[in-house]
Amino acid sequence: MQQITSKDNEQIKHIRRLKEKKYREESNEFIIEGIKLIKEAIIEKQKIKTIVICDGCDKDSNFDSKILYEIAKMNCIVVPEKIFKTLTEVTNPQGILAVIEKQNKENKIDYKADIILILDNIQDPGNLGTILRTADSINLKQIIISKGTVDSYSSKVIRSTMGAIFRINLIEVESLEETIKEIKKHKFKIIGTSLEATKNIYDEKYNKTAIIIGNEANGIEEKILELTDEKVKIPMQGKTESLNASVATGIILYEYVRQNLK
């Protein structure tokens, strides 16, 4: 275990720069923080490059002995609290973070799946993270995301996923339009969410279906909406006109689950 006390140390400067999206893409790495996420990373056999432990922070000691044993085998560095605070993006950090190498997941769509989730320019990190967590809860293994969607490896997205990001293949596509056309060739029905829809989500069967969730403010881009086979909305009985993107995604995905449970 290495002790580092200088903020100008090259390892420290490297980790600090991983807060930047461009640098994360260049280095093919990202940061995770906290006991829960590090435990998930170990269980899911992620490539952990470095673990940083804060000397002086109030750390929660919820690691079981197996996890502690695994951590002890890794490249661990200990830094004073002052340096740790320059690395963390958490208000009340647990005093431990890790640098993870991105897995080179298959960038091809698995057309054997029964349902495909497509995200069109989701902008809120919390929404994206919660969508990933919800998708993981129904055992969805892939999500297609448009180029304009918020960075999947930002710290807020990572925290919101609660480890789901390790289990889902995120397929970022240059042209969502062309991707949807290709999905249609594989006999998938394309459903888009729209406040202008006449059908509601309970009117549809969700087998061999691709569901598009649109941007929080503007919904699905018009040229993308034109490619859908059906437009649906969540029926509202109160005065609220629309729901948060992650809440809407959860309702639709669990309608798919409900239909399959029957």
**159-180 confidence digits (pLDDT tens):** 999 999 999 999 999 999 999 9
pLDDT digits (tens, 9 = 90+) for 2-21: 899 999 999 999 999 999 99
pTM: 0.90
CA torsion 202-204-208-211 (nearest 10°) is -70
Domains of the chain: 2-101 (3.30.1330.30), 115-261 (3.40.1280.10)
What is d(CA 26, CA 4) in angstroms, rounded to the nearest whole number? Answer: 25
Distances from the Cα of 193 to the Cαs of 81, 225, 244, in angstroms? 47, 9, 12
> Would you say residue 82 has pLDDT above 70?
yes
